[in-house]
Amino acid sequence: MRMSEFQALLKKLYLQKDLNRGIESTYIWLIEEIGELATLLNAQELDKTKISEELADIIAWTISIANILNIDIEKAIVSKYPNKCKKCNSSPCNCVK
């Protein structure tokens, strides 16, 4: 599934709920999901199934924010992350830290 397809799916399923909740509350949900991921990553043993679920939730809540703001997330990603590093113009990145 392309990012644009996923964004359209979330828009169809949840846009009205997202709009009713508002940007601030939607952002708080995103932060809660990031906190859940942090907890999982700090565990002695990593549970990749649970981590993958949290990553999916983080992406979904991020896209919900994009939908509220009417931002095309796929276009934003391609613009921000072209097929090369924006600093050194290489792929893979050859920037020196």
Q: Which pLDDT does position 60 carry in this prediction?
A: 98
Number of domains, the chain: 1
Sign of the dihedral through C-alpha 23, 82, 55, 3: positive
Please check whether residue 63 lies inside any domain of the structure.
yes
Q: pLDDT (tens digit, 9 = 90+) per residue, 13-29?
A: 999 999 999 999 999 99
Residue 36's domain comprises 3-80
Please check whether residue 47 lies inside any domain of the structure.
yes
DSSP state of 40: H
Please check whether residue 36 lies inside any domain of the structure.
yes
**Tens digit of pLDDT per residue, the chain (97 long)?**
899 999 999 999 999 999 999 999 999 999 999 999 999 999 999 999 999 999 999 999 999 999 999 999 999 999 999 899 888 889 999 998 7
Residue 36 is part of a domain; what is its CATH number?
1.10.287.1080
Q: Which pLDDT does position 7 carry in this prediction?
A: 98
User: What SS3 class is residue 32?
Assistant: helix
